[in-house]
Chains A and B, each alone.
Chain A
Amino acid sequence: MPYIKTEDLPGIRALLAFSPATSTPIGELANILLRDTEGLSPAERELIATHVSHLNDCFYCDQSHGEIACYYLGGDRDLVNEVRNNYQTAGVSDKLKSLLYIAGKVQKSGKSVTIEDVEQARLQGATDKDIHDTVLIAAAFCMFNRYVDGLGATTPSDLASYSARAKQVAETGYGNHIFTNKQPIAEKI
């Protein structure tokens, strides 16, 4: 149960519904950072978000964005778990590994990112935009994770519900519609 009185919605959605004015720019930021196809792919962006949320021990965000990444990756949940548990040996590109490393540093503090970390990413083919987007995605999830857990947002225990919400976001994007529309229901198998 959230620490403030909200509508009965899962995770961040209850908080977004509580404060639609702030939710509008939040949704716009998420759409640009996580659904842009220039440079990093949406799957790579969601993997960075999942990694940082995992480091911040925010189950709702970790699970939510992991499922969105999984959707973009054609259902490859094993790959998402590999990235969660040890991205250095996961089946992702060396470029993404070097960016996940930077994201992990940002999660600790901005100042812990060194020029050597950035140069290593450049050696693996990262552009200025890739580096910028990685830092901002990691920074933004340090905000989202704190927003969700800091207000005690409800963490659904039904894992199938994360896949249902992930499909909605992958297909229709981020924005206020995710709390104004009826919540997606997990398909019964």
Chain B
Amino acid sequence: MSHIPFEEGLFGIRGPMSFSPATAKPLNELAEILLRNDNNTLSRGERELIGTYVSYLNDCFFCQNIHGAIAGHYLDCNIQFIDAVKNNFEDTPLSDKIKALLSIAGIVQRGGKHVKPEQIEKARSLGATDKEIHDTVLIAAAFCMFNRYVDGLGTWAPPDWQYYVERAPRRAAEGYAEFDLHK
């Protein structure tokens, strides 16, 4: 049972967003720009992977599965690949630049002060731009917020991966800004 009552049938973050539409609006606008705006040299799939990875590190079931499914949709890959990224991204065929950014995201998850200039320089040496570094840190930081919001209010997450896979295409097509919480 969630810590405060939410509308029946609204799972994960949808319950809190329905409870507080005023804060849902900027939260969703932030997600839309960070994860879906195409004026970005990181692809949507790469950015969703960063969110998925941080949510996995934060042990947030709902977030890692919905964003994992959305990443899978964009990257046209299966759950095994998403699981491989979560468990050991260094061993996957992602680019060295993305691996360096995922590494930074993982460090941000532990705490901002753990990020050291050497890690930033490594990402830069592999081709990461200032904007890509900025966005990686902000995506990781934002998911440290979203994961705590979802779990801190005791929301319920459907346990079946299919639930998330079924919803991924709609989210990918419609985006996060003003999405219908009931669909």
Interface residues of A (CB under 8 A from B): 3-5, 15, 18-19, 21-22, 24-26, 28-29, 32-33, 56-58, 102, 105-106, 109-111, 113, 115, 118, 128-129, 131-133, 135-136, 138-140, 142-152
Contacts and interface: CB of A to CB of B under 8 A. Distances in A.
B22 A24 contact: no
A110 B138 contact: no
B173 interface: no
Contact of A135 (B1, B25, B138, B153): B153
Interface string B150-166: 11111000000000000
Given A25-B30, A32-B23, A58-B112, A135 B152 contact: yes
Given A128-B5, A135-B149, A152 B142 contact: no
A22 B33 contact: yes
Contact of A139 (B22, B112, B145): B145
A133 to B, nearest CB: 8
Given A129-B20, A139-B152, 16 more contacts: A3-B133, A4-B130, A19-B135, A24-B29, A29-B27, A57-B111, A109-B151, A110-B149, A113-B151, A115-B1, A118-B4, A131-B4, A135-B152, A142-B144, A149-B111, A150-B112
B159 to A, nearest CB: 16
Contacts of B25: 25, 28
Contact of B112 (A102, A105, A145): A145
B174 to A, nearest CB: 18
A interface secondary structure, majority: helix
Determine which residue in B117, B147, B148, B153 has the highest number of CB atoms from chain A within 10 A of its CB, and name it. Answer: B148
A21 B148 contact: no
A3 to B, nearest CB: 4
Given A22-B34, A146-B112, A150-B112, A132 B141 contact: no
A109 B108 contact: no
A154 B55 CA distance: 28
